[in-house]
Amino acid sequence: MPSSQPIRVLIVDDSAMIRRVLAMGIDREPDLEVVGFASNGEQALDLMQRMRPDVITLDLEMPSMDGLTFMRSYMKSTPIPTIVISSATTGNRSVALQAVEAGAVDIISKPQGGTNIGLASMMVDVCQRIREAATAKTGLASNKSRVIAEALGAAPIQVPAGRAASWVHAIGASTGGIQALSTMLPLFPANSPGVVIVQHMPEGFTASFAARLNTICPMDVREAKDGDIVQPGRILLAPGGTRHMMLVRFSMGYRVSLIDGDPVCYSRPSVDVLFHSVAKECGRRCSASILTGMGRDGAEGMLSIRRAGGATFAQNEATCVVYGMPQAAHQMGAASKMLPLEDIPAAMTHAMGAPVRPSLKQP
């Protein structure tokens, strides 16, 4: 997108107050432009066809045509980067995740209480998310079922005997990661080593996401709690928004620790925090991957894993919604291989039976 042209934004929300607050915040930015407003999906479809926005901000609970129905109506034929701006209610979390699985590139929680004031204070972050969304590749979510079917139809992944209990898989992801994890995690067999994951998500959404993953994965998937044991057959997803997650060694193996701390790479939980702890505790006994996402979170932590002798992989540009985090890892020399998303689970598993890798020397 030429930098001289502002990013054109369509705001879809049934609340006039929310539309007004979003428009005021967006229009303050010289590189952003609000091109239309809609209070339901039917109005939005008409505006979308006439105004050709670059990014859509989308409420989900609206009269007439709701946000999820609206988004599904255009994502397959005319995919446009879409940011879900959702109320933080239990019911909406599930619907918001369905929207992301259908192709939305990001979720932002509406603040509880004093919505207009709270949302106004978040507009710097909202505007940055809009800029990031404008660079995203859309339409990749529609390939998920095909990718899973083809991968599961291939030779099953074989976990090296006797290695799972002493091995850890670590994964980091951000924008586009919900779709990516929903595609790749079902490919890990039930006897895989324990998996620890940081996926950038708002507070309150990770429990619903873990529950959804648990219905499609051979492994047991759960939102991590402080002290949870990392063990074969279990995937632990860091809770969104409040604390960092670290790997800690104890007498019987590994567990996770949820700790307070400032954001790292603008993120909490941070992939870097998790990966640095994995490098320290596991050394050569780990595989790590960085998936789609904006920014650099995870690159330095992955480099520490590679220097410790761990196996490191990053998602290739062709299969990423946003190539930022994998690209940063590649440019830093942190990722030993760039792979299509569907090839990463096998590569992480095969690394368990590979010859011992020498530690990468410090520069």
Catalytic residue set: 174, 200, 297
* Cβ contact 11:36 at 8 Å: yes
311-315 vs 234-237, strand pairing mode: unpaired
Q: CA-CA distance, 34 to 23, in Å (whole number)?
A: 6
Residue entry with tokens 């998500």: 201
Q: CA-CA distance, 263 to 356, in Å (whole number)?
A: 34
- DSSP reduced 3-state for 197: strand
Q: Inter-axis angle of helices 206-214 and 90-101, to 10 degrees?
A: 60
**Token representation of residue 183:** 């595609």
Q: CA-CA distance, 236 to 20, in Å (whole number)?
A: 39
Specify the DSSP element, H or E, that contains 20. Answer: helix 16-27
293: which residues sit within 8 A by CB, 6+ positions away? 172, 173, 174, 175, 176, 177, 200, 322, 324, 325, 326
Q: CA-CA distance, 250 to 234, in Å (whole number)?
A: 17
Q: CA-CA distance, 244 to 207, in Å (whole number)?
A: 16
Alpha-carbon distances of 115 from 83, 86, 182, rounded to whole Å:
18, 12, 31
Q: Please state the φ and ψ torsions of residue 336, each to the nearest 5 degrees.
A: -75, -30
Strand partners, 257: 246
